[in-house]
Structure 1
């Protein structure tokens, strides 16, 4: 019985934490991080500030927790990629998985795009740079020349650009995501094949 009650309490705490994150991100996106107060977050949640403080003491704590939760799949992907061969199949799978990660965390990445100055000043900015560096390391062949390195890196940022710049374009969101993924995959293929062609001895 005690174990069940403890589990129920843990789920309640987890649910409240998730609600705080969701509402905070909504407000950050609507009116900007700087203009959002803890009091406004508490009011939209219909809880007291004391109840909010139980989980988070500052806005930055909330944002850092959102970032950590929603970008954990990127860390998992980087760890997976480091254990795989530098094959075309691996790189295409990295691109596919990263596209899905972006789709699942769209509100966070849109917030980061629209609040770049704030993100740079907070811990999440440096952490995100580390995530991107990790992705680059598992994507780019060490022996690739500069043009192919740019192609690999551009594949990652094509996925970012598709999320931000195609949202107002008419059409089904999933169709747009697939189109962006196809372009990113093409860049990876060009970079991989370009590196292999340059490696072959001239006859």
Structure 2
């Protein structure tokens, strides 16, 4: 393999390792409770290596948010093919729940971090949430349609925001 390809692959691998490690540390210690030193020491890399991939610890969090964004985009692509039947809407809500529950720690970090909420990735995530809500309410929604959609999304998000909750126990409810 040429040296440039090897270097690029190692760079991508290191970035992915940093994100995976950050996911674990942020889940255990919280975002504020995790230092750059902890992020680098547990991977046996230097702070310079981390800063090669991310300008700051907040950029690491944004990298995790980007992964949530990508999953949300895939969900939106799927539901664009759905009709407005109750069964399709239920399936959309189940897939939304699964998306958030599959990476519950990142979901909690992203939706509880004001800096992320105001960042470009936060803006894009909010746009995706609005698109999902628009699907749920359908064309020309009534007040009841809007309330049902807001209630369903709110219940999902609130149930997943609770600490100490096993997401698998809430899914079918």
> Normalising to structure 2: TM-score of the pair?
0.81
Root mean square deviation, CA, Å: 2.7
Instruction: Name the residue aligned to 1:139.
Output: 136
> Residue 66 of structure 1 is aligned with which of 57, 64, 67?
64
Instruction: Name the residue aligned to 2:116.
Output: 119
> How far apart, in 2, do the equivalents of 1:178 and 1:37 lie?
34
Measured at CA, do residues 78 and 148 of structure 1 come closer, stay the same or move farther in structure 2, by a change above 3 Å?
Answer: same
Instruction: Name the residue aligned to 1:168.
Output: 164
> How far apart, in 2, do the equivalents of 1:29 and 1:124 lie?
20
Q: Deviations over 1:112-148 (max 9, x none)?
A: 34x3434334334322211211111111122221122
Instruction: Name the residue aligned to 1:43.
Output: 41
| Contact 1:120-1:126 at 8 Å conserved across structures | yes
Q: Deviations over 1:4-58 (max 9, x none)?
A: x93x555433332122112223344445445544344222322111211222122
Gaps of 5+ in 1: 181-203
Q: CA deviation at 1:61?
A: 2.2
Gaps of 5+ in 2: none
Q: Secondary structure at the match of 1:45?
A: coil
| Contact 2:84-2:138 at 8 Å conserved across structures | yes
Instruction: Name the residue aligned to 1:54.
Output: 52
Q: CA deviation at 1:108?
A: 0.4
Instruction: Note if 1:129 corresponds to 2:126.
Output: yes
Tell me how many residue pairs correspond in the alignment. 173
Q: Secondary structure at the match of 1:120?
A: helix
Instruction: Name the residue aligned to 1:179.
Output: 172
| Contact 1:64-1:123 at 8 Å conserved across structures | no
> Normalising to structure 1: TM-score of the pair?
0.70
Bigger Cα Rg: 1
Q: Secondary structure at the match of 1:179?
A: coil
> How far apart, in 2, do the equivalents of 1:168 and 1:57 lie?
32
